[in-house]
C-alpha cells in the first residue's frame, strides 16, 4: 500500500471479495479499506482513499 501511495497519481484503491470471507474483510479493514456495498456479481466492494493532490 505504501508503494501505491508513493506513486502520487493514485487516489483510490478498490478491491472486491466474497461477503462471507471474514478473513479478507478483517485483512482489508486493517489496511483502512471501507466497505462500499456489493457489485453486480454480489461481491463486496471495499475502497481505500489515499488522498493525494
**Mean per-residue pLDDT, 18-41:** 96
**Mean per-residue pLDDT, 5-16:** 84
Is this prediction's pTM over 0.85? no
Task: Say what percent of the chain tops pLDDT 70.
Answer: 96
Q: How confident is the model at residue 24 (pLDDT cuts 50, 70, 90)?
A: very high
Give, in order, the Cα–Cα distances in Å from 18 to each of 14, 22, 24, 47, 51.
14, 9, 8, 15, 26
The structural domain count of the chain equals 1
- pLDDT at res. 52: 57
**Mean per-residue pLDDT, 24-51:** 95
Range of the domain at 8: 2-49
Amino acid at each position: 500500500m505504501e508503494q501505491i501511495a508513493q506513486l502520487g497519481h493514485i487516489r483510490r484503491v478498490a478491491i472486491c471479495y466474497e461477503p462471507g470471507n471474514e478473513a479478507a474483510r478483517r485483512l482489508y479493514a486493517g489496511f483502512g479499506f471501507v466497505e462500499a456495498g456489493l457489485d453486480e456479481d454480489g461481491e463486496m466492494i471495499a475502497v481505500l482513499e489515499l488522498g493525494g493532490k
